Chain A
Amino acid sequence: MRDWFRDRIGLDEIQHLAEKKEVPVHRHSFWYYWGGMTLFLFGVQVATGILLLLYYRASADEAYESVRFLMTQVSFGWLIRSIHSWSANLMIGAAMIHMFSTFLLKSYRRPREVTWLTGMALFGLAMAFGFSGYLLPWNQLAFFATKVGTDIVGDLPLVGTFMLRFLRGGDHITGGTLTRFFGFHVAILPAIAGGLVLLHLYLVQRHGMSVPRSVERAGAPPTMMKFMPNFMLRDMVGWLAMLGVLGLLAALLPWELGHKADPYAPAPAGTRPEWYFAWMFQTLRVLPAHILGLEGELAGVIGIGIAGLAWLAVPFLDDPHGEGARARLWTLVGVVAAIYIVVFTLLAYRVAAP
Chain B
Amino acid sequence: MKRRGFLDWMIRIAGTSLGAFVLYPVFRYLVPPRIPEAATRRVVAARKDELAPGSFKTFPFGSQPGILIRTNDGSYRALSAVCSHLGCTVQYRGADRTIWCACHNGLYDLEGHNVSGPPPRPLEVYVVHVEGEDVVVEKAKPA
Which B residues, 19 to 61, have Cβ-Cβ distances below 8 Å to chain A?
A: 30-32, 35, 58-60
Decide if B65 is an interface residue (CB 8 Å cutoff).
Answer: yes
Contacts of B35 in A (CB 8 A): 170
Which B residues, 84 to 119, have Cβ-Cβ distances below 8 Å to chain A?
A: 85-91, 101-105, 114, 117-119
* Most chain B CB neighbours (cut-off 10 Å) among A148, A263, A264, A265: A264
CB within 8 A of A165: which of B31, B64, B85, B90? B31
Contacts of A171 in B (CB 8 A): 63
Smallest CB separation, B51 vs chain A (Å):
15
Contacts of A190 in B (CB 8 A): none
Contact B102 A353 (CB under 8 A): yes
Interface residues contributed by chain A, number (CB under 8 Å): 36
User: For chain B, which range describes its interface: under 10, 10 to 19, 20 to 34, or 35 or more residues?
Assistant: 20 to 34
Contact B120 A176 (CB under 8 A): no
Contact A289 B119 (CB under 8 A): yes
Contacts of B105 in A (CB 8 A): 285, 351, 353-354
CB within 8 A of B103: which of A144, A165, A263? A144
Contacts of A354 in B (CB 8 A): 105
* Most chain A CB neighbours (cut-off 10 Å) among B65, B103, B120: B103
C-alpha gap A354/B117 in the complex (Å): 12
CB within 8 A of A144: which of B30, B64, B85, B89? B89
Known A172-B63, A266-B89, A267-B89; contact A297-B118, beta-carbon cutoff 8 A: yes
Contact B32 A268 (CB under 8 A): no
Decide if B125 is an interface residue (CB 8 Å cutoff).
Answer: no
Contact A284 B104 (CB under 8 A): yes
Annotate A125-156 by CB proximity to B: 1 below 8 A, 0 otherwise.
00000000000000000001001100110000
CB within 8 A of A289: which of B58, B87, B88, B120? B120
Smallest CB separation, A117 vs chain B (Å):
23
Smallest CB separation, B118 vs chain A (Å):
5
C-alpha gap A169/B102 in the complex (Å): 25
Which B residues, 120 to 136, have Cβ-Cβ distances below 8 Å to chain A?
A: 120
Contact B32 A267 (CB under 8 A): no
Contacts of B118 in A (CB 8 A): 284-285, 287-289, 296-297
C-alpha gap A145/B85 in the complex (Å): 13
Return 6 A-B CB contacts under 8 Å, by A number: A267-B88, A267-B91, A270-B102, A271-B102, A284-B104, A285-B118
- Residue numbers of B with Cβ under 8 A of A are 30-32, 35, 58-60, 63-65, 67, 81, 83, 85-91, 101-105, 114, 117-120
Please name 16 further chain A to chain B contacts, defined as beta carbons within 8 Å, in addition to the given A267-B88, A297-B118, sorted by A numbering.
Answer: A144-B88, A151-B87, A171-B63, A172-B63, A176-B32, A264-B59, A266-B81, A266-B90, A267-B89, A267-B103, A281-B104, A284-B118, A288-B118, A289-B117, A289-B120, A353-B102
